[in-house]
Amino acid sequence: MRITLRSKAALCVATALAAAPLAVTALPSSAASPDQVSVAAQPLEGSSNVRVEGSRIILGDAPATMGSVEIRQRSGLAELDPVRFPSATSAVIVGYTSGTPDKSSAEVDVRALVNSKWSEWTPAKSGTPTALPGASDLVQLRIIVSAPISGGKPWVGDLTVQPTDQAAAGQMVIQAAPLKSRVFATREGLVGGTTANGHVIIQRDHFVALPSRRGLSSNDGGSYSVKVCTTAGTLRCAFEPVWDVGPWNTKDDYWNPSAIREMWKDLPQGRPEAQAAYQNGYNGGKDQFGRTVLNPAGIDLADGTFWDALALTNNAWVDATYLWTGDGGRGTVAISSGYLNVRNAASSNGAIVGMAGKAAQITVECQTTGQSVTGSQGTTNVWLRVHTGMYVSKAWISAGTFGAC
């Protein structure tokens, strides 16, 4: 896991399933009172730095990832096959055993398919009901294991999950529109390093980092994506997957309301802890690790997002929209590498006004006709409006049909 220190001193799920079908473990529909079901210790593609021993998922042997010189960790992440229940449930009980030697840690998270898309990951305490953001018959578990640079191998094993009608506190709510907030953006850099989801950073890469794993996509996945737009000069927007954790904090899901925010529950929704610490001396001006916060950063941008998509030359304030927090038209960027240009007209001759990274979710306001383009989704003259005055060809977007512009 990378924890950045920025200073001079220091799925639309339908398309995701179509692209990479998942095996689904089902509970028997004949069960009057469904029993718990065992979840196989079989990490899916996109998992990183874990190995399996019997029923246990154990931290792998990859070295500590790049990041702050003060805090470096070895980290592993494993997503498991989804589990389907015979009927929808609003809460689940996750069971597991774990081992955390030598100051290491192990966490199990759960998410649910609600309104045809995956909800945010929520930590699940073994044997305790965990609320889902809505009634769902499909849930998925994720394992995160971390340890100091040398030493122990944390593990999680004997995983089970079952629906429950027991009350569970802290239910997440998917809003009518996703949250947008103005935050300070810093450039990540760190080419050659490894992100929290196992992605190796390349030159002029396209992704973002947010300071909580709750909105962390799997490697090469885009279930959790953001729309980032400039706030000064010529308007440009980027659509990018969340592939890393940072800056400053690792448990600051500031896009969530106070009732379910993991830490800093007295801060208003949309305000990063680092911003409050830097501007107002919140928490004594320090982050969760006790470091003095030297800038108000709430999002990190990979170099391609920073320099090319948004044409930034220095750290800057941006408008960030956390797409998984709300409903609305969506599509998925269906390219094997690189990025997709966002243009100011429904034509490849239109000026570039932004970019969309591999696997990123994009907002779709409507569709129109324009230049015919051939891409991963075939040949089409349909273009999607992703923001006022901004278009992408549907030839590169996995999406349904939308109303005319």
What pLDDT is recorded for position 81? 96
| pLDDT at site 74 | 86
Residue 66: the pLDDT is 59
Compute the distance between CA of residue 146 and CA of residue 154 in angstroms, rounded to an integer: 7
CA 330 to CA 209: how far, in whole Å? 21
Q: Which element (helix H / strand E) includes 352?
A: strand 352-357
Predicted pLDDT at 32: 36
* Token pair of 224 as six digits: 């959790």
Q: State the 10-residue block means of pLDDT for the chain, 405 residues long.
A: 34 35 48 69 92 95 64 85 94 96 94 90 94 92 92 93 78 75 96 91 97 94 97 97 95 93 96 98 97 97 98 98 93 95 98 98 97 98 98 97 96
Instruction: Copy the structure tokens of residue 146.
Output: 């971390």
Q: Tokens 């729309």 belong to which residue?
A: 227
Task: Answer yes or no: are the C-beta atoms of 352 and 402 closer than 8 Å.
Answer: no
Determine which helix (DSSP H) or strand (DSSP E) holds 404, and give its type and residue range: none
Domains of the chain: 13-163 (2.60.120), 180-398 (no CATH)
Q: What is the pLDDT of residue 30?
A: 37
Instruction: Please check whether residue 43 is in contact with residue 198, taking contact to mean a CB–CB distance below 8 angstroms.
Output: no
pLDDT at 174: 63
Return the pLDDT at 151. 75
Q: pTM of the predicted model, to two decimals?
A: 0.88
CA dihedral 38, 44, 50, 52 (to 10 degrees): 40
**Can you state the percent helix, strand and coil of the chain, rounding each to 5?**
10, 40, 50
